[in-house]
Amino acid sequence: MGSAQQPFREWLRIADQDFLTNSRADVVLLLQESLALIGPARLLAFMKEEKLVDAWEPWIQALENVGGSDKALTDEASAIRAELAAQKSTATV
């Protein structure tokens, strides 16, 4: 992520539940682009370094599953994971 790291970190820290709900499609697209650039393991490590609000927890769970974890997902995390996968398939068309 290079020079984009600091703004991305700030964005992660200030995004709250309202933002994640109201801008969900944008968040999915941004995370999908991040996954394509740095992969799930690096994105997860990056997100876990930050002190994020609890609203990010289902997103982190979904990314853990994308990264190969067989941890049981909450319904919300499962929906997010499906959205990330759907965005990936439409973004490559």
Q: What is the pLDDT of residues 49-86, one digit of tens each?
A: 888 889 999 999 999 887 555 568 888 998 898 898 88
* pLDDT of residue 3 exceeding 70: no
Where do the structural domains in the chain lie, given as residue ranges? 2-91
Higher pLDDT, 62 or 4: 62
For residue range 23-58, list pLDDT tens digits in order: 999 999 999 999 999 888 889 888 988 888 899 999
Q: Please name which of 9, 4, 3 lies closest in space to residue 51, comparing C-alpha atoms.
A: 9
Q: Please name which of 41, 82, 67 lies closest in space to residue 90, comparing C-alpha atoms.
A: 82
The model's pTM is 0.81
Q: Which residue is it, tokens 């049981």?
A: 72
